[in-house]
Amino acid sequence: MNYRNCRSLALALASIALLLCSCQSLPRRNPTGEMFPTVRGNALDGRAWKLPGDLRGKPTLLLIGYKQDSQFDIDRWLLGIEQLGLKITAIELPTIAGMFPRMFSTRIDSGMRRGIPKALWGGVITIYGDAKTIQRFTGTENALNARVILLDGRGKVAFFYDEGFAIAPLRRLEQALDKERALSPSAK
């Protein structure tokens, strides 16, 4: 085997290893009671965010998606929240790890803007550079399911669910939100 063939084989193997490492599933974990990690992202409207710090003061719902098809689960959660009449700020966090997504983040965000009404862009914060931090925080098993996290006013996880939308967990979210509001009357 000559040098050129060895080099091509080495590059191919390195590419495959990189893909396998980036696709590796992290075990599911429930971070209820823990502080949400500090991460940075940008909303589709251009605003830079530092989470959870920029959310402090009132309960906030984070709907985290690791795959494009997670949007289906996120939309069901949003519809359920609307149907129950829950008054809460809900933020979508498309969380996309890896070097290639970071390189193409402008193109990915543009694609999202085409599919989301402009009035909602401020509620969609894309996370690229700190995506692995969030993935380690919740795990990535069953990555199509949204990670639903209720943060209290300090940035602590008061509710977590990652098994796909269902009515019973939506009701548990409602109860957790009522409890947080009772603990912090200014958050109403």
CATH code where residue 137 lies: 3.40.30.10
User: What value, to the nearest 5°, has the Cα angle with vertex 147 and ends 145 and 85?
Assistant: 100
CA nearest to 174, candidates 159, 152, 157, 187 = 159
State the pLDDT at residue 33: 98
pLDDT digits (tens, 9 = 90+) for 130-144: 999 999 999 999 999
Q: What would the mean pLDDT of 51-69 be, rounded to a whole number?
A: 95
Q: Is 40 inside any structural domain?
A: yes
Residues in the chain: 188
CA gap 22, 12 in Å, rounded: 15
Task: Identify the pLDDT of residue 183.
Answer: 84
> Is 13 a domain residue?
no
Alpha helices, DSSP H, located in 85-166: 99-103, 105-115, 131-138
- Tell me the per-residue pLDDT of 99-118, one tens digit each, with 9 for 90 and over: 988 899 999 999 999 999 99
> Is 12 a member of any domain?
no
Q: In the Cβ-directed half-sphere of 35, how many Cα atoms lie within 13 Å? A: 9
pTM over 0.75: yes
The answer to whether position 129 is within a domain reads yes
User: What's the domain count of the chain?
Assistant: 1
Share of the chain above pLDDT 90, in %: 78
Any residues with CB less than 8 A from the CB of 142 and at least 6 apart, and which?
28, 162, 163, 164
Q: With residue 82 as reference, give the H or E element that holds it.
A: helix 70-84
Residue 150 lies in a domain: yes
| Domain housing 121 | 29-187
- pLDDT the model gives residue 6: 44
